[in-house]
C-alpha cells in the first residue's frame, strides 16, 4: 500500500511539471527513432553475399575431391560459392579481375602424399 502512495505522489509531482512530463514522454520516442535509423540495416534480413572461391584441382585425387566436397557442402552453401578452374593461371586471372576472393590450388600429388598442408592459397595483396 505504501508503494502505491509513493507512486501516486510521484505521478502528481511530475504531472505538475510540464517540461519534465514532456521529456519523459518524448525521450523514448526520440531514442527509438535514432536507434532505428542507426541500426536499421542490421535487422533488414538481407542475405550475405557468398564468398567466391576458385579451386584449381591439379591433382584429381581423392583428397582433392573430398576438399571440394567440403567447400560445396549444403551447410555452408550460402557462405562459399566454389568456382572450379582448370589451372592456377585461370584462377589468378579471375582473382585479378575481382571475380573471386581467393584461389585455392591443389597441386598434383597431394592425394599420393596424403598431406593437405600442401595446398596453396592466392589472395589479393593489401
If asked whether residues 107 and 57 sit together in one domain, one would say yes
If asked whether residues 64 and 35 sit together in one domain, one would say no
* Residue labelled with grid coordinates 567447400: 71
pLDDT tens column, 65-89: 888 888 887 777 778 888 899 999 9
Give the predicted TM-score (pTM) of the model.
Answer: 0.59
CA dist 120 and 126 (Å) reads 18
What range does the domain containing 17 cover?
A: 2-43
Query: What CATH number is given to the structural domain containing 97?
Result: 3.40.1710.10
Q: How confident is the model at residue 115 (pLDDT cuts 50, 70, 90)?
A: low
- Kindly state the percentage of the chain with pLDDT values over 70: 90
Q: How far from chain centre, in Å, is Cα 94?
A: 22
CA dist 118 and 59 (Å) reads 11
If asked whether residues 11 and 38 sit together in one domain, one would say yes
If asked whether residues 39 and 65 sit together in one domain, one would say no
If asked whether residues 81 and 21 sit together in one domain, one would say no
Q: How many domains does the chain have?
A: 2
Amino acid at each position: 500500500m505504501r508503494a502505491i502512495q509513493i507512486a501516486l505522489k510521484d505521478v502528481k509531482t511530475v504531472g505538475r511539471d510540464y517540461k519534465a512530463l514532456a521529456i519523459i514522454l518524448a525521450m523514448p520516442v526520440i531514442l527509438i527513432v535514432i536507434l532505428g535509423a542507426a541500426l536499421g540495416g542490421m535487422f533488414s534480413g538481407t542475405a550475405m553475399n557468398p564468398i567466391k572461391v576458385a579451386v584449381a584441382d591439379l591433382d584429381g585425387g581423392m583428397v582433392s575431391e573430398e576438399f571440394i566436397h567440403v567447400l560445396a557442402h549444403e551447410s555452408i552453401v550460402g557462405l562459399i560459392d566454389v568456382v572450379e578452374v582448370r589451372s592456377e593461371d585461370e584462377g589468378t586471372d579471375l582473382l585479378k579481375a575481382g571475380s573471386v576472393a581467393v584461389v585455392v590450388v591443389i597441386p598434383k600429388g597431394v592425394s599420393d602424399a596424403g598431406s593437405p598442408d600442401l595446398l596453396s592459397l592466392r589472395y589479393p595483396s593489401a
